[in-house]
């Protein structure tokens, strides 16, 4: 089972749920970061998620990022109506396995990618309503604030995004896809526009990974879950919008549900370019560093540089 024996998986469950009953496991094939399983435990349906090994290559915010999920799930469950799984156990002791892992109650429904017959517009309208509730949750600092602590929290969004941008460039250089000249170009690109990010924007809770696979839907087209909160960030909702654009979620129905107008100013358009670049650049690290696909990393880099050339010429 993707490198894990059934007895090892059972040991993880029974360590926290000793009365779980008879266990069966089904690999969730769509998992791209964690190794995940549907678990039948007696009469209960669970999900077991196992983080990558510690020696994997990560984007800076990915290392140990599962550690922030228990707090985020608890917050969203307590203060919104968004369907989020109840976490039954989280273990980062590495006493049974050399990775962090988490056991959750399984939400009903299937990923939207598997539900071709539902009304997509109705689904996206619900997602908009739910994400509006999430964005209404705010903090007093900006950045990746979770227990994985990938950066120092900042008092302004501009300061946080500057750190995030430079850390991303460091990661790409580390896997050999930005040389010194390219790194300098990307750093200067933000420096020249940084004042556009220095504005009074709330430190909203952002999911940062809403795409069709992470939206669960039942047979009646009701959204039954938003999953995979490990990339969550506190900051400018516009950066979430860029992810939604990239993932094909920013349809009119989504914005109807979201209920807030999107800034269409020239300044917002410039920020949107940077936020898209931030999203795209992570795939250079993922393709080269974690998947070992140099050709894939080069394709993402070409996309990035094409956008940069168009941006600077325009």
- Mind listing the pLDDT tens digit for each residue in 96-111? 999 999 999 999 999 9
pLDDT at 119 exceeding the cut of 80:
yes
Average pLDDT, the chain: 95
Beta strand ranges found along 42-155 (DSSP E): 44-50, 87-91, 101-105, 110-111, 138-139
In a domain, 1, yes or no: no
Domain match, 100 and 116 both: no
What pLDDT sits at residue 154?
A: 98
Distance, in Å, from the CA atom of 104 to the CA atom of 88, rounded to the nearest integer, reads 5
Confidence of residue 290 (pLDDT cuts 50, 70, 90): confident
Domain match, 140 and 80 both: no
CATH code (residue 250): 3.90.1200.10
What pLDDT sits at residue 193?
A: 96
Domain match, 93 and 130 both: no
Domain match, 79 and 172 both: no
What pLDDT sits at residue 1?
A: 54
In a domain, 181, yes or no: yes
pLDDT tens sequence across 38-48: 999 999 999 99
Nearest of 166, 159, 260 to residue 203 by alpha carbon = 159
Domain match, 233 and 97 both: no
In a domain, 308, yes or no: yes
> Of 80, 107, 134, which closes a domain?
107
Mean pLDDT of 77-106: 97
What pLDDT sits at residue 313?
A: 57
What pLDDT sits at residue 116?
A: 83
CATH code (residue 95): 3.30.200.20
Domain match, 285 and 233 both: yes
Domain that holds residue 24: 6-107
Distance, in Å, from the CA atom of 46 to the CA atom of 41, rounded to the nearest integer, reads 7
Domain match, 103 and 115 both: no
Looking at the structure of the chain, the number of domains it has is 2
Domain match, 39 and 126 both: no
Mean pLDDT of 124-140: 98
In a domain, 299, yes or no: yes
Domain match, 185 and 267 both: yes
Confidence of residue 286 (pLDDT cuts 50, 70, 90): very high
pLDDT at 149 exceeding the cut of 90:
yes
In a domain, 233, yes or no: yes
Q: Where are the alpha helices (DSSP H) in the chain?
A: 6-16, 69-79, 120-135, 157-174, 180-193, 237-246, 252-258, 266-285, 294-313
Beta-carbon contacts of residue 21 (< 8 Å; ≥ 6 apart): 41, 42, 43, 44
Domain match, 291 and 200 both: yes
> Of 89, 107, 125, which closes a domain?
107
Domain match, 118 and 87 both: no
In a domain, 27, yes or no: yes
Mean pLDDT of 62-91: 97
First-to-last C-alpha distance (Å) of the chain: 51
pLDDT at 61 exceeding the cut of 70:
yes
Domain match, 207 and 250 both: yes
> Of 82, 107, 132, which closes a domain?
107
Token pair 């962090």: residue? 100
Confidence of residue 31 (pLDDT cuts 50, 70, 90): confident
């Amino acid at each position: 089972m993707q490198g894990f024996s059934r007895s090892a998986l059972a040991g993880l469950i029974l360590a926290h749920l000793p009365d779980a009953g008879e266990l069966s496991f089904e690999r969730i094939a769509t998992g791209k970061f964690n190794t995940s399983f549907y678990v039948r435990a007696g009469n209960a349906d669970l999900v077991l998620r196992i983080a990558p090994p510690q020696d994997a290559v990560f984007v800076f915010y990915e290392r140990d990022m599962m550690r922030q999920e228990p707090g985020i799930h608890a917050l969203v469950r307590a203060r919104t109506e968004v369907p989020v799984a109840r976490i039954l156990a989280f273990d980062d002791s590495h006493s049974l396995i050399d990775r962090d892992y988490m056991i959750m109650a399984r939400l009903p429904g299937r990923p939207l990618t598997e539900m071709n017959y539902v009304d997509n517009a109705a689904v996206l309208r619900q997602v908009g309503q739910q994400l509006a509730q999430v964005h209404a949750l705010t903090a007093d600092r900006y950045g990746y604030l979770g227990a994985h602590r990938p950066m120092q929290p900042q008092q302004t969004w501009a300061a946080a995004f500057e750190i995030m941008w430079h850390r991303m460039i460091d990661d790409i250089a580390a896997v050999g896809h930005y040389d010194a000249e390219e790194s300098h170009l990307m750093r200067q690109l933000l420096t020249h526009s940084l004042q556009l990010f220095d504005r009074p924007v709330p430190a909203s809770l952002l999911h940062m990974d809403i795409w069709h696979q992470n939206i669960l839907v039942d047979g009646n087209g009701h959204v039954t879950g938003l999953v995979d909160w490990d990339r969550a960030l506190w900051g400018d909702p516009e950066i979430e919008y860029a992810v939604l654009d990239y993932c094909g979620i920013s349809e009119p129905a989504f914005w109807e549900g979201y209920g807030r107008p999107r800034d269409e100013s020239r300044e917002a358009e410039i920020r949107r370019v940077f936020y898209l670049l931030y999203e795209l650049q992570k795939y250079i690290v993922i393709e080269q560093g974690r998947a070992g696909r140099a050709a894939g990393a080069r394709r993402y880099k070409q996309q990035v540089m094409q956008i940069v050339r168009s941006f600077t010429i325009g």
